[in-house]
Structures are given as structure tokens and as C-alpha cells.
Amino acid sequence: MTDLQYVRPVRTRPLAKDARPVVSLKGLTKRFGKVVANDAITLDVYPGRIKALLGENGAGKSTMMSMLAGRYKPDEGTIEVDGRPVRFNSSKDAIQAGIGMVYQHFMLVDSMTVAENVLLGQEGSFFVSPREMEHRVGELAERYGLNIKPGERICDLSMGERQLVEILKLLYRESRILIFDEPTAVLTPEETRNLFEALWRMTEQGKSIIFISHKLEEVIALADEIAILRRGRIEGELDPESIESKADLASRMVGKEVLLEVDRQPAEIGDTVLEVRNLTGLGLTEVDLDVRRGEVVALVGVAGNGQKALVEAVTGLTKPPLDTVFIMGQPWRKFFAESTWNRSMCYIPEDRLGLATLPNQNLVDNLLLTTRKGFAKGLWLDKKKAAKHTVRLIEKFDIRPGRIHALAWQLSGGNLQKAVLARELYREPKLIVAEQPTQGLDVSATEEVWKRLLEARSMAGVLLVTGDLNEALQLADRIAVIYRGRILDVLDNTDKDTFRKIGPLMAGIVD
């Protein structure tokens, strides 16, 4: 991970006393079933300022912005633009009110030029001239200091340049409030710096910017104000100037109050099931980590600090360098060459509906996804037996709806996760890699998942990757903190000071 080299042009920009918010969110609440994605959010955005919205994955950032951009309707609360309450029925309404959003996935026509994309639907006349269009867009780009050639085709542009095209689209439609959803995820550090410079120039022209991110450094480097969103609530607003609050920022982002407690009795410690030895590469540096049967080792950190790379290397999705990863005592290559369907490793991925299950298949087929070798009779698959076991698992894990013919996508997040857990535990694993296992789940489902993971310690070691500090503190015996691809420390959870130490470590501060 490269360091962000961006120096903000002005150190501080105090908010003028008579400044009026251009957009106000007042008590905005949005629920999806039982899950409260946004809980009474109140937020003011001022003209000419950059408001950063900091929060972990699943904190409710995107939900909140989708309401502002007119994609979702709030269940409660109002949005005010220029002091007047508005109701958006579609993203078109929001654009008309001057609110535009740059999504993570670009909505651009690859084979068309920059100018054609920017002006699409806004040409102004039936007959158009490419030269005149390029001229118009070129002028607009120049006004905001965006470095882009309007005659180039999108397919020849880098990700950063494509993002500029999306920005130009909003600017052309005279959006006054521009929302950026994790805009740097696809950018190189250089492009990130260029983007930040462009954002600052836009604020100088009076535009308001809402910048959604979970990257601390970026937020501190860029924002005028930082709002922290956690579990659907605004946890507070901070001034980015106070550098010592970086650690505080990290721990406030991931939270500290105990929402849910489980009774965790220590289990008997057995053999080492996972050993990572001096792993460098894949964005990781000198990572050492081991997991033994009977313990939960949590890997915590702000998202995007190398967790994904480590999980992929351990679970076999990417190939780690030679002799760095050992599973159940065997080198990585040997383990995956000879791995069996049961009494082995299982992976509970973050992406439940994409990676863990097939959305359009029923529960039996989804059970078979990782266990089919257990139901094979020579060339044939014993589906009847699989169905029987599915029924049993549905009962045991209380999965609803309790029909084996229910399709994966029809299940709620909590039930789907229970189904994945049921399947993976059926394999009687010796190593469990669980990635954000309770993200987006309600309290009862979370409790259920936690209990199952703790129970599983009798047969397995658990590597728990989580952004939820409370989850780590509740479940883990040891907590490893990862920052920029390095494991800064592995803390013992029985130590009272552990909790206090995690925040600074997550922000990269080592005493």
C-alpha cells in the first residue's frame, strides 16, 4: 500500500458564522426488514465544503447516500434542500434538486467519446456536431481544472479519467452537491491525489462534496468536517485537524460500547491448524500468524489494510509465495492438492450471496456446493440423501423459510448466513475462516452465529476477520491488528488493556 501524498491547499477552513446548510438531513431512518440501516440521521452539508462520511462496511453509509440521491425513500425523517423539505421519487428528482452521485460502478458508454458521454441526453438540439460538443465539454473541464481530453473514447481511459467523466456529467447538470461513494477504491495513489485536487477546486467554486470512505488518511487529508457513521447512527462529527484523534477516529469508527455479550468459556487448545510464516507479497509484509484448535483468533483493522489478501491466500483463492502458509501442518500447495471435502478447511465469506451461495439455486443444491463429495456414489450424486440432510440442518439451525426448495436469494441475510454456517460446519472443519460473519445481521442472528462459532472451537481453530471490534472482543482469544499489510501486534484478549490498545494500533500508531 502506497502512502497518500496529498497536501491540502488550506490548513483549515473555519465555517462562516452565517453559513446556511445547502442540504440538511433531519432524523432520517431507513429499515430493511428487521435491520435498521439508518437510525435517525441528522446531518448538515454546507456550500463550498467537503464533508467526509467515515464508517466501516455495512455502517449504513451507502443507504444514507442512496436516500439523498433519490434511490431509496426514507421511512422517517426529511431531507431539506436550501431549507425547504423535498421528496425524491427517483434519482432524476435528486439531480433536478442539484444532488448528484458518482457511484463506484461507472455508468459510461465505452465506445463513445468523453464529450458524448457527458452530454448524453443533454445535447440541446436534434442535430449535433462532435466538434462543438467537445468544445463545450472542454470548456467545462477547464473551468474546474479537470485534465481530460473531450475527444477521447472512454475505453481508452484509465479508471481515474473515467471518474472525471462521471464528475463532468454531474457538473454539466449543475449539481451543487456531489456525492462520492468510495471514489478512491479504483484509483492509483497518483490518481487519488489528482481527484483530491479536483475536489478542492470544485469547493472553491461553491460546490458541496460528500465523500464516503473508510480510509482514515484520506478523510483526514481531504475533509473539512468528518462525520462518523456506525451501525446506522452518526457517532459524532470531528475536526480533521486534531491529529491525535486519529486513533480515536479509528476506535469511534468501529465502536466500543458492548451491544451484545456472549458467555465465552475457554476451550481446550490443540494442534496448530493454520500457520502463516513471514508472508510478504500480495500487499502484505512479513505477516506471522498462527491459529490453534480450540481458539478464535480475530484479525481486526480498518477495511482495506490487507485483510482480503490474507484471507484469499489462506483460503486458496490466490497463491501465496512458497513456504509461507501452512494449513493443518501441510504446505499450502500440498494441502490444496490433497484437500478433502470434510475435516479440512472451510471458508465463510463476506459475500454471502455471491461467493458463498448460488442465488438462484435451492438449499439442497447450495448444500451440495461444498459437500457434494460427501453425497457421491461413484459417478452419481445422492440427492435424496442430500435433501434429507438439508431438512435436518434447517431444523437444527432454525433456517427460515424452512423449505428445502427455497432459493438462496429468497432468504434474509441472517437466515442465509445460518445456512452457510450449517453447510460449512457439516463438513466438520478443522480450520474455519470467517469473514465479517455478522455484518448486516440483526441481534438475534448475530448471537446465533457467535454461539455457533464458539461451539465450533471444540473441533476447529477459527480465524475471524472482522471490522466490528465488539465482535472481536466477544469471541476472540487473541486479537491481531493489521495495518497497511502488516500485523502490528497480536494482543491477548484476557488482558484488560487490550481494548485500549486496539484503537491506536488500527490507526497505525505503535508506542
Partner 1 sequence: MWEFLIPLFAATVQSGTPILYATLGEMLTEKGGVLNLGVEGMMALAALAAFWTSLVTGSPWLGFVAGGCAGMLLASLHAFVCISCLGNQVVSGLALTILGGGLTHFLGVPYVGLAAPGFDPFDFPLLSQIPGVGEIFFKHDMLVYLSFIIPFLFWFFFRRTSLGLHVAATGEMPAAAAAVGLKPIRLRYFAVIAGGFLVGLGGAYLSLAYTHLWTNGLSGGRGWIAVALVIFAFWRPGRAVAGAYLFGGVMAFQLRLQAAGTHLPSSLLLMLPYLLTILVLILSAWRGRRIDAPAALGTNIEPEG
- Does 89 contact partner 1 by CB under 8 A? no
Q: Which is nearer to partner 1, 106 or 336 (CB)?
A: 106
Question: Nearer to partner 1 by C-beta: 133 or 219?
Answer: 133
Q: Is 108 in the site for partner 1 (CB under 8 A)?
A: yes
What does the radius of gyration of the chain's CA atoms come to, in whole angstroms?
25
**Minimum distance of partner 1 from residue 135's CB (angstroms):** 15
Binding partner 1 (rule: CB under 8 A), the pick from 104, 122, 278, 458 is: 122
Site for partner 1 in 427-446 (CB under 8 A): none
Closer CB to partner 1, 71 or 333, in the complex? 71
Contact between 112 and partner 1 by CB under 8 A: the answer reads: yes
Q: Least separation, in Å, of the C-beta of 509 and partner 1?
A: 42
- 76-81 and 84-86 strand pairing: antiparallel
245 near partner 1, rule: CB under 8 A: no
The torsion angles phi and psi of 107, rounded to 5 degrees, stand at: -105, 75
| DSSP for 437-492, written as a single string | TTTT--HHHHHHHHHHHHHGGGT-EEEEEES-HHHHHHH-SEEEEEETTEEEEEEE
DSSP state letter for 343: S
- Single out the residue of 326, 344, 307 nearest to residue 214, CA to CA: 307
Q: Single out the residue of 125, 263, 338, 377 in contact with partner 1 (rule: CB under 8 A).
A: 125
Task: Name the one residue in this structure whose C-alpha cell is 431444523.
Answer: 395
Q: Which is nearer to partner 1, 133 or 282 (CB)?
A: 133
Q: Which stretch binds partner 1 (CB under 8 A): 7-15, 39-47, 123-131, 356-364?
A: 123-131
Name the pairing type of β-strands 478-483 and 486-492.
antiparallel
Report helix angle 159-172 to 130-143, nearest 10: 90
Spatial separation of the C-alpha atoms in residues 511 and 505, rounded to whole Å:
9
* Beta carbon nearer to partner 1, 177 or 387: 177
Point out which span in 73-81, 127-135, 215-223, 503-511 binds partner 1 (CB under 8 A): 127-135
Minimum gap (Å) between residue 282 Cβ and partner 1? 29
169 is a contact residue toward partner 1 (CB under 8 A): yes
Q: Please report whether residue 185 would count as binding partner 1 according to CB under 8 A.
A: no
Sheet holding 99-102, edge to edge: 99-102, 177-181, 208-213, 50-54, 225-230, 233-238
Q: Which three cell numbers stand for residue 80?
A: 431539506
* Amino acid at the residue 280: T
- Name the minimum Å distance from CB 412 to partner 1: 18
Choose one: 107-115, 248-256, 351-359, 435-443; the region binding partner 1 (CB under 8 A). Answer: 107-115
Distance CA 241, CA 250 (A): 15
| Residue selected from 10, 127, 244, 258 as contacting partner 1 according to rule CB under 8 A | 127
Site for partner 1 in 23-52 (CB under 8 A): none
Does 380 contact partner 1 by CB under 8 A?
no
Residues 393, 389: Cα–Cα separation, whole Å? 6
Which CB atom, from 122 or from 444, has the smaller least distance to partner 1? 122
Within 13 A of 429's CA, how many CA atoms are on the CB side?
28
> Interface with partner 1 by CB under 8 A: which residues?
91-92, 107-112, 116-117, 120-123, 125-130, 155, 169
